[in-house]
Structure 1
Amino acid sequence: MKPETNKTLIITYYWPPAGGPGVQRWLKFVKYLPDFGVDPIVYIPENPTYPLWDENLVQEVSDKVTIIRQPILEPYGFASFLSKNKTKKISSGIIPNKKKQSFVERMLLWIRGNMFIPDARIFWVKPSIKFLHNFIQENNIETIITTGPPHSVHLIGLGLKKQNNIKWIADFRDPWTTIGYHKALKLSKKSAQKHKDLEKEVMNSCDKLIVTSPTTKSEFEKITSNPIEVITNGYDVENISKKPMDSIFTLAHIGSFLSERNPRILWKSLSELCKENKDFANDFQLKLIGAVSKEVLETIKEFRLEGYVNHLGYVSHNEALQEQKSSQVLLLIEIDSEDTNCIIPGKLFEYMVSERPILAIGPEHADFKNIIKETNTGTFFTYEEKEALKSQIETYYNQFKQNTLQVNAVGLQKYSRKKLTEHLAQLITHKS
């Protein structure tokens, strides 16, 4: 007799062929949930406007998952008449430096923050509640999970919770009102309060919350007394063809390089090393993979490093994995702000199993600092530690020249996608 499984409805905006880090978390959870007695059903938009596309990820969708779709109306299509490029960048989270924003950019940000609360996917909420209410009744769904951003997805969960006696878990891949870009949305006082009110209602109406970092858990505990679990992102066993190691000293940054993630101490250190050490200058390359803001490129040019840049642009997830495994050192940069202490970039975990040293820069109390330290996968510096950073780059370079540049990682298993999914399944199947 086949053991009973828990039917779980997962409501998400990002799903293959969407590219970028937002899609990976639930793509991998869904892959392993059936191993732990959970039958996943994924609800996604039929006609989304994704800022990044990766058709290769479609092949990674588990054949054990049921997928249902409903149309979505998104204003980004209309906004693109003003500026398709600027709209796409803002949609993907690349917000220009405040001092350098054009009139169109300022207008788009104001509209995004004040007209579409909590975000531009708000028009998917009511039709989804109507459709899913009947679906839940007809298919004996026991649990629903909403994952944001976009946080409008949580409003679907809120509506369904009010209509159905059902268990609701809200997964926050990023915070809501304390995430870095929230302050850039030019919110009116009334709009800012509406965000906070919705955030509070969601957190106090769901049965459980999942967050990706200890700092976010601490922040949310001030808003709700509901149980909060930390389930970080993680790594999976990927079957990708290997590329030869780069023959030159490559420092690689993979993922979006936002305007606020612009570490002048790094550019200054690299500029000085190129001037002081001819061999370093001949061997060095800065490899940028993914969208890079105009401000970051301008600063690189300011320090006369543009000749060392190899900007590959956005590549598929598999290509990104190949590049990070073949690079000499991997760069992990986070915004220097208390608001980003909670951010643990998803790529960190893929970095950790790439067998390449991580060079990380971020705020002093960043949660990812502790993970790098406990797993012995690299080094971390604050934005004030320029000389120490420069010295570490030089050390890595000397090890590269001696063919001894490597890492000896420890304790990685608990960050595997399957192990993390086991934790998630326990939350889903627990009856309390």
Structure 2
Amino acid sequence: MADHRKLLMIAYHFPPFQASSGIQRTLKFSAYLREYGWEPLVLTVSPRAYDATSPHQLKEIPEDAIVRRAFGLDTSRHFSIGGRYFRWMAQPDRWVSWWPGAVWTGMRMIRRYRPAAIFSTSPIVTAHLIGLSLCKRSRLPWIADFRDSMTETGYPRDPRTWKIHRKIEHETVHHCSKAVFTTEPTRQMYAERYPEIPASRWAVIENGFDEDNFRSAESGFTNTPLGRPGQITLLHSGILYPTERDPRPFFAALAMLKHSGDIDGSKLQVVLRATGNDELYKPMIAELGIDDIVRLAPVVSYHEALQEMLRADGLLLFQGACCNHQIPAKIYEYYRSGRPILGLVGPEGISASMLSEARVNHIANIADAENIAGTLRLFVKKLSEGVDSGVSREFAMRHSRKARTKELAALLDGLART
């Protein structure tokens, strides 16, 4: 790798972290960059900072990859007394204790390995704070990767946190060499927010799926249905945010269909895997009397999650209108799975447009229970008749992680030439 230029990559989400699709973006960039002439140097946080860990994806890190894990803790778990802590100890986020150690470790890596550029990815906001600090100290070109927007009107909800995030966001876009977003509407939003920034600084690299992960999931895979004979099984895999991906209208739609006799637990099973908010949703489901239909399932390994997608009769995608400029990362995995998709989205958002472009036939307004009920009734009927299909493989293959890494490498090549 002596002839490869080096890239210092700063990421909170990295194996052995579990329970966020954000891990896949950095992990796959770091795995494939070498094919395009760049050697990654990963700077992440001590695993003690993670709520949940799993060893399963550690093997996907190249054996000779340089990975440094700087000290960092979770304020809510490690610095609280009786579950309470000072708010300033969690600004800009609960992992701000990672910042000092990461800057010290990062400067040591820069002096030793002499990278040609820095890359940081958020959320977590502290990752960009580290990138900003290292950029100022080293004067290296810096790519700031925004997997989600850092601020919006009313987000974060706490006014003090919003001000801190907006200040870091402002500093980030003014000091970075490239600000990368995962959707075109988010890029447009930032370009309008910061008109003084030249258009050449903004870029879009979408998320994607990893073909090697799917081939591994399909290897030795027995395609047995998730549900019982005669039962249609729908799956949502991943976090269901109470606001951004509010499932309450969907729950109400299920209750409507059960009351009308269209569905019951023997005909339909809905698996909500790793919602992150089970304790919030469990009483809602019980109150509506749909607990024979809806099952809240715990976190599993990424490999098992992909296999479950492949076995489901249909896949559920949630994205609220408040996130119309964002695309859930799992949409690309849903594409590759080849399973039929029911999209519960903001009708004017990019997720709705993406699903339409992929020729997904069943799309409903996530906020309209009656619209969901009608669309869900038809979706289940089509699945029962075996006449609905998933996204074509040809379309899905346009969205591979390797193709996205090639886009990142092209950005880096451009920076290296300037």
Which residue does the alignment assign to 1:60? 60
Q: Mark the CA change 1:284 to 1:73 in structure 2 (over 3 Å): closer, same or farther.
A: closer
Q: Mark the CA change 1:382 to 1:199 in structure 2 (over 3 Å): closer, same or farther.
A: same
Aligned to 1:381, what secondary structure does the other structure show?
strand
Q: Distance in 2 between matches of 1:342 and 1:275?
A: 35
Q: Does 1:4 align with 2:3?
A: yes
- The answer for unaligned runs of 5 or more in structure 1 is 84-106
Q: Mark the CA change 1:381 to 1:427 in structure 2 (over 3 Å): closer, same or farther.
A: same
User: Would the aligned equivalents of 2:122 and 2:146 in 1 still touch at CA under 8 Å?
Assistant: yes
* Amino acid corresponding to residue 46 of structure 2 in structure 1: E
**Equivalent residue in structure 1 for 2:372, among 389, 396, 416:** 389
Which residue does the alignment assign to 1:86? none
Aligned to 1:306, what secondary structure does the other structure show?
coil
* Amino acid corresponding to residue 49 of structure 2 in structure 1: T
Q: Mark the CA change 1:62 to 1:379 in structure 2 (over 3 Å): closer, same or farther.
A: farther
Post-superposition offset of 1:405: 3.2
Post-superposition offset of 1:323: 1.2
User: Would the aligned equivalents of 1:413 and 1:419 in 2 still touch at CA under 8 Å?
Assistant: no
Q: Distance in 1 between matches of 2:292 and 2:44?
A: 43
Post-superposition offset of 1:378: 4.9
Which residue does the alignment assign to 1:42? 42
Which residue does the alignment assign to 1:225? 197
Which residue does the alignment assign to 1:209? 179
Post-superposition offset of 1:236: 0.9
Q: Mark the CA change 1:292 to 1:72 in structure 2 (over 3 Å): closer, same or farther.
A: closer
Which residue does the alignment assign to 1:143? 117
Q: Distance in 2 between matches of 1:179 and 1:128?
A: 30
Post-superposition offset of 1:277: 3.2
The C-alpha deviation readout for 1:336-377, integer Å capped at 9, x for no partner, is 42xx12221111111111111111222233222111111124
Q: Mark the CA change 1:119 to 1:137 in structure 2 (over 3 Å): closer, same or farther.
A: same
Q: Mark the CA change 1:208 to 1:194 in structure 2 (over 3 Å): closer, same or farther.
A: same
Q: Mark the CA change 1:204 to 1:278 in structure 2 (over 3 Å): closer, same or farther.
A: closer
TM-score, length-scaled by structure 1? 0.85
Aligned to 1:288, what secondary structure does the other structure show?
strand
User: Would the aligned equivalents of 1:352 and 1:377 in 2 still touch at CA under 8 Å?
Assistant: no
Which residue does the alignment assign to 1:124? 98
Post-superposition offset of 1:412: 2.1
Which residue does the alignment assign to 2:76? 76
Aligned to 1:7, what secondary structure does the other structure show?
strand
Q: Distance in 2 between matches of 1:334 and 1:171?
A: 21
Query: Which has the higher mean CA deviation after the structures are superposed, 344-353 or 118-127?
Result: 118-127
Equivalent residues, number: 399
User: Would the aligned equivalents of 2:335 and 2:390 in 1 still touch at CA under 8 Å?
Assistant: no
The C-alpha deviation readout for 1:295-314, integer Å capped at 9, x for no partner, is 32222223210122222211
**Equivalent residue in structure 2 for 1:324, among 288, 309, 317:** 309
- The answer for unaligned runs of 5 or more in structure 2 is none
Which residue does the alignment assign to 1:294? 279
Post-superposition offset of 1:42: 0.6
Which residue does the alignment assign to 1:306? 291
Q: Distance in 1 between matches of 2:127 and 2:409?
A: 21
Post-superposition offset of 1:73: 4.1
User: Would the aligned equivalents of 1:245 and 1:325 in 2 still touch at CA under 8 Å?
Assistant: no
Q: 1:249-288 to 2 correspondence within 5 Å?
A: 249-260=232-243, 261-277=245-261, 281-288=265-272
Query: Which has the higher mean CA deviation after the structures are superposed, 61-70 or 250-259?
Result: 61-70
User: Would the aligned equivalents of 1:249 and 1:284 in 2 still touch at CA under 8 Å?
Assistant: yes
* Amino acid corresponding to residue 287 of structure 1 in structure 2: V
User: Would the aligned equivalents of 1:259 and 1:294 in 2 still touch at CA under 8 Å?
Assistant: no
The C-alpha deviation readout for 1:57-86, integer Å capped at 9, x for no partner, is 112222352212222244233355524xxx
Which residue does the alignment assign to 2:388? 405
Q: Distance in 2 between matches of 1:279 and 1:215?
A: 38
The C-alpha deviation readout for 1:124-179, integer Å capped at 9, x for no partner, is 22332233223212322101101111111111111122122311111111111229
Query: Which has the higher mean CA deviation after the structures are superposed, 388-397 or 35-44?
Result: 388-397
Post-superposition offset of 1:408: 4.3
Aligned to 1:304, what secondary structure does the other structure show?
coil
Aligned to 1:82, what secondary structure does the other structure show?
coil
Post-superposition offset of 1:120: 2.1
Percent sequence identity is 26
Post-superposition offset of 1:263: 3.3
Q: Distance in 2 between matches of 1:365 and 1:145?
A: 32
Q: Distance in 1 between matches of 2:49 and 2:318?
A: 27
Q: Distance in 1 between matches of 2:247 and 2:300?
A: 23
Q: Does 1:154 align with 2:109?
A: no
Aligned to 2:402, what secondary structure does the other structure show?
helix
Query: Which has the higher mean CA deviation after the structures are superposed, 152-161 or 66-75?
Result: 66-75
Q: Mark the CA change 1:394 to 1:181 in structure 2 (over 3 Å): closer, same or farther.
A: same
Query: Which has the higher mean CA deviation after the structures are superposed, 61-70 or 174-183?
Result: 174-183
Which residue does the alignment assign to 1:102? none
Root-mean-square deviation (CA), in Å? Answer: 2.3
User: Would the aligned equivalents of 2:335 and 2:391 in 1 still touch at CA under 8 Å?
Assistant: no
* Amino acid corresponding to residue 16 of structure 2 in structure 1: P
TM-score, length-scaled by structure 2? 0.88
Q: Distance in 2 between matches of 1:393 and 1:163?
A: 55
The C-alpha deviation readout for 1:224-274, integer Å capped at 9, x for no partner, is 615111111101112113441234211211111222233333223222222
User: Would the aligned equivalents of 1:273 and 1:281 in 2 still touch at CA under 8 Å?
Assistant: no
